Chains A and B, each alone.
Chain A
């Protein structure tokens, strides 16, 4: 009886490979996961919000976090870096182009600097939510 229940639970919890692929795509390019599922409105709204949040954050002079920050503990850089990493390709392309990672005093003096940082962090966190939503839909856990 217990074994049967455990087997049923395993069946419920296991997700198809396509769901993992959709989740990965949703993380890599905000909105792509929902596009793959043909959820056009969700892709436009959720993906669009993430893209807009990222570019507004950049325009405000916010900076992205990585592990190479000067003058502070590397460990303290990890949580915001994880949040920034949520934007997937947007973060990776910025990293490769070395754009948005410099933390110079002139940029930090801007009135919108902290707002920009917050927008960039929230862009990544919102994309994690978008990714989980796409994964749940692809796995059949959500209509």
Chain B
């Protein structure tokens, strides 16, 4: 659980910076930040499950 929280915090901090510096309007920035956050989380979980099956 702690690992997941750390990953979530990492994804949140990185996506805040990516979202704030990208795009033009506030709405576009928010959507982009959320998209980056979701990508971090999904890719992290997928990689976690792949590594789980690799001895």
Contact = CB atoms under 8 A, between A and B. Distances in A.
Interface of A: 41-42, 45-46, 49-50, 52-53, 56, 60, 111-112, 115, 118-119, 122, 126, 129-130, 133, 143
Interface string B1-23: 01000100110011011101100
A119 B17 contact: no
A117 to B, nearest CB: 12
Contact of B14 (A42, A56, A126): A126
A122 B20 CA distance: 16
A122 B10 contact: yes
Nearest to A122: B14
Contacts of B18: 129
Nearest to A34: B20
A143 B14 CA distance: 22
Contact of B17 (A41, A50, A143): A50
A60 B2 CA distance: 12
A45 B10 contact: no
Given A122-B14, A126-B13, A42 B6 contact: no
Contact of A52 (B6, B13, B20): B13
A126 B17 contact: yes
Given A45-B16, A49-B16, A133 B10 contact: no
Contacts of A53: 13
